[in-house]
Amino acid sequence: MLLITGAAGFIGSCLVKKLNDEGRRDLVLVDDFSSRADKAPNLDGKGYLHKIHRDEAVNWFDQHNHSIEAVFHIGARTDTTETDTHIFDRLNLHYTQALWQRCCQYNIPFIYASSAATYGAGELGYTDSHQLPEQLRPLNPYGDSKNDFDRWALNQPTAPPHWYGLKFFNVYGPNEYHKGRMASVIFHTVNQIRANGSMKLFRSHRPDFADGQQSRDFVYVRDVLDIIWWLYQNRPENGLYNVGTGQARSFLDLATLTFRALNLEPKISFIDTPEDIRDTYQYFTEADMSKLLKAGYPLPFCSLETGIGEYVGHYLSHSQRLYF
């Protein structure tokens, strides 16, 4: 059996579908299934053996460890505006430590979600070197929690037989309908176009970036799934791996491409970045993908044009919500 945490969420539910497509339906899904009814459609039509509440998963793991082939720990508290560090300590740090320790004890491969938020403002670059986490200064408690676990894992005397900490950059794609404010700008652009025919992007509050030229490494969820599956199948050297495309694109590019995917002329204006995130806002991210490529990863990364075309054309442009 394969155990997937965060299974009802965006990336987790897409991973369940990917594993189904690869012939795996012997899946144990872990999440807080009772708290968010709007996530339930993410799992419609998907094959699995069991659903386990997040709070019961560690004990269940102890009782059934002999049947677990690998753990895909995708679940986390991902709200970058949350300021309660106790929430992040419990859900992102201590919970992940408990799963790691059991994968060590039972000799089970462990793949977990880290984040590009660990890189902070990018002043030290975006390389997935194991020397970097001790020096990184994330911009918010979410990024701190992810970096805290990366640092902890790298300093452990024992490790799972195969382990990979995946530094997800800006992932977009279907099944993010429930994410609200944390959903991708593509999702919000389509919704704003439907509401009033236009899109408002955040204005730059730095003199070295023009409005709309804030840039991120946007990675389509299909690429993320392919990387996870390749790591699980091929088991290269253990460690941290960036999961992006290696090419930053501007939010203006992203919004313009979304309009064009809807066969509309862009109508874009700018508003101030909300004060609660202004001081912790990343103006540029770009994954250094050389480590994964040197490990032998063979697939090309989806361009922003292709990814937005599929996401908007196959999912967001329809009147009803379509799921991956």
Q: Look at phi and psi of residue 296 and say left if phi exceeds 0, alpha if psi is from -120 to 50, else beta.
A: left
Q: For residue 170, what are the CA distances in angstroms to 2, 6, 76, 254, 293?
A: 26, 17, 15, 12, 19
Which stretch of DSSP H or E encloses residue 285? none
CB 189 within 8 A of CB 255: yes
Measured at the CA of 58, the angle between CA 45 and CA 230, to 5 degrees, comes to 55
Distance CA 277, CA 210 (A): 18
Q: For residue 14, what are the CA distances in angstroms to 84, 161, 173, 306?
A: 28, 25, 9, 18
CB 13 within 8 A of CB 171: no
Q: Which of 95, 112, 119, 142 is catalytic?
A: 142
Measured at the CA of 129, the angle between CA 14 and CA 218, to 5 degrees, comes to 35
Distance CA 72, CA 242 (A): 16
Q: Which of 106, 179, 200, 281 is catalytic?
A: 179
Distance CA 122, CA 62 (A): 39
Q: Catalytic annotation on 17?
A: no
Q: Catalytic annotation on 200?
A: no
Closest-CA residue to 155 (of 129, 130, 128, 124): 130
- The CB density around residue 320, as the number of other CB atoms within 10 Å, is 4
Parallel/antiparallel/unpaired status of strands 268-271 and 218-220: unpaired
Distance CA 323, CA 98 (A): 32
- Show which residues are catalytic: 142, 179
